[in-house]
Chain A
Amino acid sequence: MPGTTRPSATNRPRRQAMAGSAAQRPARPGSAPGRRVAPVSAILLVAAALAAAPAGAGDLRVTLTVPMPEVVDMTGIHKVLVTRFVIDQEIADFDLNREIVNGLRRELSRRTELDILDIEPPPLPEQPLRDLIANTGFWQRLASRYGADLVIAGRAAFVVSDRSGFVQVDEISPVTGQRIRTSRFVDREAFTLDMNLFFLRGSTGALLYEDQLAADETYTGLFNDELSGLHTLFERLEDDIVGIIVPRPRTVQRILFTD
């Protein structure tokens, strides 16, 4: 739904939709004299007008919700195949590849009208990723085998790193009662998810678009649940991933001139 306009308002006839504005407009020269406004209504209308006052002289800042178009031209694309991902380093506690591929397929199924092929993700040959992406014949054959219009492949890395260290904290001295700054050692660890995504056209095997996405989060303490951390980071990237192939709303600010 583009803009902040509600459908019920926009679908009404123009003049009816303008009701609020007309009521609050200063009387135009030559407009009907002697209009009576009930005192309470008048106060409410004045209050509403003040709430919508311009932020600065000569211009007014407004917020719009605009549809952000998809990055990949999805014309003629219905069936999507998600392959296995190339994983930089396996994680001991869970299957990173399965988590990423399942998460990707789940979100694409949930948030698009596309037919996300529900099959065991085909493995990729052991070949440098760049060479593989350039191998259009491989992608074309793979897409043809599964009847896919679009193939999504990628690389993923999930890294746990120790970010423990000294931090400065302000506290009240129990002896003097004064605020003092001390250093304290704090255990912390960071989870980082780094992904490359490749979108390849099934009919030609050509690379349509590639993107690199990353997210990280630092937690207090050690031995935090890595799988939960992975899901948290993946959720943070979901909008960006889905936005590659479907339009999504985005809030933006614009300046209007008032004179």
Chain B
Amino acid sequence: MRAISLLLIFFITIVSMTPIGAGEALSAKEMMEFGLEAAKRGLWREAAFRWERSLKQAPDNPRLRNNLAVAYESLGDLERAEAEYREALRLDPENKKVRANYDSFKEIHRARHDKAQRDQPAPPSGDGG
């Protein structure tokens, strides 16, 4: 157990010294993978951080926005989660998996969603729900 801990600390150090924030940046794909690894372990804050960075390189990637929405949702940041789901669907309206995520999101957070809809003076477009 101690050996594994030391090994992990070693890797933390290595990763900490990798070029994020330095000249050579990780590719969007690598960031995506990095975020997934974090998400698999329930490290949603880390996953969101990675995907946010990745989004800067690929802002029109609906799959990335979907993942970011899930991360925000798990962190309880429902406003941003909804915004990312909606943007993902705007970019890829036919994507059934994104739609399934968003439909479930809306169902669960219906009360908040309905309240937000009521509070808005007028919706920007004809959004039926």
Contact = CB atoms under 8 A, between A and B. Distances in A.
B40 interface: yes
A21 B46 contact: yes
Given A41-B7, A69-B112, A255-B100, A31 B18 contact: yes
Contact of A21 (B32, B38, B76): B38
A14 B46 contact: yes
A9 B66 contact: no
Contacts of A38: 3, 7
A73 interface: yes
B75 interface: yes
Interface stretch (A22-30, A109-117, A146-154, A179-187): A22-30
Contacts, number: 144
Contacts of B9: 19
Nearest to B77: A2
A19 B12 CA distance: 5
Given A41-B4, A254-B70, A18 B100 contact: no
Contacts of B111: 69-71
A37 interface: yes
The 6 A-B residue pairs whose C-beta atoms are closest, nearest first, are A3-B74, A21-B37, A2-B76, A4-B42, A257-B63, A22-B15
Interface of B: 3-4, 7-12, 14-16, 18, 24, 26, 29-30, 32-34, 36-46, 49, 63-64, 66-67, 70, 73-76, 97-98, 100-101, 104, 108-109, 111-112, 115
